[in-house]
Structure 1
Amino acid sequence: MIKSLVTGGAGFIGSNLVDKLLSIGHSVVCVDNEFADNEMFYWNPDAINVKADITNYEEIKNLFNSVDYVFHMAAESRIGPAILNPIKAAEINILGTNIVLQCSRESNVKRVIYSSTSSGYGSNPIPNVETQPDDCLNPYSVSKISAEKICKMYSDMYKLPTIIFRYFNVYGERAPSRGQYAPVIGIFLRQKKAGQKLTVVGDGEQRRDFIYVGDVVEANIKAATKDIDKKFFGEVFNVGSGENISINEIAQMIDNNIEHIPPREGEARITLANIEKIRNLFDWSPKMNLKDWVKPYLI
């Protein structure tokens, strides 16, 4: 039986991946410390569930024994909290990733899929393509892009196969909706349900590339299991829809009861993924359309 380990496996994207891996017959080790400011954590009872911290080498190293694939999703995953506590963001995202990679190396893991972020593109012109230079505008993106470079080093120096995914704005089932830094679609749906005004940051004309969590899960599984040339290990791949939409347009899809709140520091004005690289190598393309996904929630 194939054995996979998912860090951050009780969170939004991680729990969706755990469920899918179990459904296709993997044995799954789910590691999470419930550090994220989520209203719920999702532990699948069919997984081997371990509450542990990825920054503690001694605590997690034995969990990697006999593991085939590692999906590293645990992180300080939001820009706002990272700005407030850059030391903690660096500890989790840089040190934690290094420890996960070292544990994977010592256990001869077949492949590590690292979940990174499109925020590393910063103010680069769109569409964002993997060959663009880094432009990190905040402590979150600095810490995540630094960890990308550690992944590449482990592939180059230690021959540990790694694949780096830069997610754009992920939405879907189980997305957190608490706090101003939660993903915007989850916030809007919660506010509508509560009869509150939808809080649009800034003028709302900033545009984002939104990608469905189920499509992200599929990308991870393909990247782990597809036979590819080893020259691609340590490389970055965009995971987005290849389309973008303004925050105002999303708000108007959900409710016209809107109020604007002050803009935030350290965020790009526009994001848009070029997804040719992942489409060509992993035969992956997004299947879910944002407007179709939102419709059932508006009834």
Structure 2
Amino acid sequence: MPEIYCRPDGETVPINPNETVLDALLRANIDHTHVCGGHANCSTCRIMVLDGIEHCTLPSGPELALAKKLDFPFHIRLACQTKVSQGKVEIRRMVLDRDDIGLVDQQLAHRGTGAKKNVALLVAGIRGEAEFDEVNFPFDVVYVISRYFNRLHQVVSKFGGTLNNFLGNRAIATFGVEERENSARQAIWAALEMQTAMGELNHFLQTLSYQPLQLTIGVHFGPVVLVPVDPTRPELVSPFGEAVNVATLIEAANKNAGTSLLVSGDAHQQVKDAVTTQRTGRLARTGGDLTLVEITAITGEPPFVNSIVSQATAPGLSLGQRVTAFMNRFKK
């Protein structure tokens, strides 16, 4: 008779070829989670097949649909839909408590996370001739940096990106979370527009006797794992993986290179026919050298995704128009 070795319980369970893994576990008094009752509607009975997947039946139609929605790799199966024809199969139960059930619910509501996905990463850092927080009062720091992040958010959002992390003077934006094929192009367009916006911000700061800020940007294209980081807003995800480290290294390389925008060879490959480049170079690092390309311009139609700008913050409006627009928001 076929058998299942179940982790983390450490139990071996016999299974009949005509019963599901879920049925076999419950028969063995292993309290395996199955919120929907075993009908492939919730995925809480998910298991990881560690060994012997060739002995498992193929996914059913409902299981395939759910696996596609949640980006499951091939070895993540639903216990309520999986049978074992012969031999021994080793599995790990993946939903063990209420916290796990909550995470599964978030995945169903906001699409799957956990699979690797190729995205474009943009890391933006700001520097001054002196440490900005050491030469200004706290109010000045809040005022200036808030203006910077507000403009950064507008640009990133307009080109379909999401601001995920803030690390001191650095911000990380991700492009391509929603399966867009031109994520590298969007990131580079955003980077170039951010440079223009920084020039405008510095002009404004100088009129107020602030020292100008220097913006340096690194862009990389590569695989990451997207992980929800806020239980109250599961649609917000943060990228994890070596690609994040690479993008951060590229941004930092601008300082020694005397540049303001560097992209990796992988990112450049996605847009090479549409960009103007100045210099190329190599960055030595553990795990292999990086090809770096300085980009100064890009051609074609801007790949806008979200071009709607709040009337109250839209550039070019007079103060009176902006106040009126702001007040109108409360009348709707």
- What is the TM-score with the length of structure 1 in the denominator? 0.24
Larger relative contact order, structure 1 or 2 (CA cutoff 8 Å, min sep 6): 1
Q: Could you say which structure has the higher helix fraction? A: 1
- What is the TM-score with the length of structure 2 in the denominator? 0.22
